[in-house]
Amino acid sequence: MAYKVRFVNYPEHYKRIWSEVRGAIDECLSKGDLIARKQLDDFEADLAKFVGVKYALGLNSGTDALLLSLKAAGIGKGDEVVTVSHTFVATIMSIVFNFATPKLIDVADDMEMDISKLDAAITKKTRAIIPVHLNGRMTDMRAVNKIAKEHDLVVVEDAAQALGARIGKCKSGGTGLTGCFSFYPAKILGCAGDGGALTTNDDEMMRNIKLLRDHGFKRDTNELLMYGFNSRLDNIQAAMLGIKLRYLPDWITRRRQIAAKYEKGLRKISGLKLPPGPDASGDYFDVYQNYVIRSEKRDKLNAFLKEKGVETILSWPKPNHHHPALGLTKFKLPVTEKISRTVISLPMYPEMFEEEIGYVIDVLKEFHE
């Protein structure tokens, strides 16, 4: 069926930056700049500056940023890594595929890691924490870093949904050993396919990730220094991302405007729980990767939205630890479980038209009349 308001609108997105994107692709193709050329170096430098760190390294996905972070940090068999269940499954996979053991804890009411549960999850075997900055809002890294320091733990930030988010001066992806970003098309900075990056201030991590993403190959001396992977960010993608990064501050402003409009239009509906508004939470600067509302009548409401032509997604209707194949069913996480039964993600992207925002609000009001 044809939606009245789509969940994302890639054609509209590219229409607005078409000539610049075309120019970047033309330049790469006409010069044959396809792998690890200037466009990648330039984008990495710009991204590092944006995140406020020494280094950014392009990778083929956010998933690989997580995987390679733990690997380069030496996390492996016998180690425990604490993270949340309320996340995209790749966060947990990165632990399992490094042969370590995931310890899942609950989230707080704002859907970020419940820091008060962290201490109890840490054992003698714990080596790392992966806070997930979900929906464009940061986990309180000041608190996470403090606990990590006390217990001598590595912190890998899953910042895949939070490029540009901050708490005060603390930027997402800027204070962990690494920050992991995704450029999946629907992400706040999306490329035309898959892509990701890792940020760090650590020289040794930078050197190791550079090797791990490129078969362990040190190009200037022709040496193989370790076994590695093929996890490079394509040069064409880097060229496009470099262009888009310049628009990102404006796009974030627009996302926050849309969040304010949703907030204003929906706050009087008693059956809905809204995310924290853009001006509601002190020094939190949320970038609204997603706008996630909650309703006890979720399934009925979601069907109504669909019937009225509003495309939504549910992230996630069944928590990771309830999928038997993942072997995590021993965890009992009541807040995560409740969130999974009630969440709906509404359309949220800079290209949304005013009428579309108004229409989504009207449909939600109509349901609750």
Residues lying near ligand PLP in the complex (CB under 6 A) are found at: 61-63, 87-88, 90-91, 132, 158, 160-161, 182, 184, 194, 196
The helix (run of H) or strand (run of E) holding residue 42 is helix 38-51
| Integer Cα distance of 37 and 28 in angstroms | 9
C-beta closer to ligand PLP: residue 62 or 228? 62
Closest CB to ligand PLP: residue number? 62
Shortest distance, position 62 Cβ to ligand PLP, whole Å:
3
| Integer Cα distance of 337 and 327 in angstroms | 17
C-beta closer to ligand PLP: residue 59 or 272? 59
C-beta closer to ligand PLP: residue 68 or 305? 68
C-beta closer to ligand PLP: residue 191 or 310? 191
Shortest distance, position 224 Cβ to ligand PLP, whole Å:
26
Q: With contact defined as beta carbons under 8 Å apart, do 133 and 172 qualify?
A: yes
| Integer Cα distance of 52 and 155 in angstroms | 17
Shortest distance, position 153 Cβ to ligand PLP, whole Å:
20
Report which DSSP code applies to 322: G
| Integer Cα distance of 335 and 344 in angstroms | 16
User: For residue 157, what are the contacts with CB-CB under 8 A and spacing of at least 6?
Assistant: 130, 131, 133, 141, 172, 173, 175, 176, 178, 179, 180
Shortest distance, position 348 Cβ to ligand PLP, whole Å:
14
C-beta closer to ligand PLP: residue 62 or 347? 62
Task: Give the closest residue to 34 by CA, choosing from 173, 237, 217, 221.
Answer: 237
| Integer Cα distance of 153 and 122 in angstroms | 10
Task: Give the closest residue to 71 by CA, choosing from 213, 181, 200, 174.
Answer: 213
| Integer Cα distance of 248 and 258 in angstroms | 15
Shortest distance, position 341 Cβ to ligand PLP, whole Å:
20
C-beta closer to ligand PLP: residue 136 or 242? 136
Shortest distance, position 361 Cβ to ligand PLP, whole Å:
26
C-beta closer to ligand PLP: residue 64 or 356? 64
Shortest distance, position 121 Cβ to ligand PLP, whole Å:
19
Query: 149 burial class (0-12, 13-18, 19+ CB within 10 angstroms)?
Result: exposed
| Integer Cα distance of 32 and 231 in angstroms | 20
C-beta closer to ligand PLP: residue 184 or 285? 184
Shortest distance, position 66 Cβ to ligand PLP, whole Å:
6
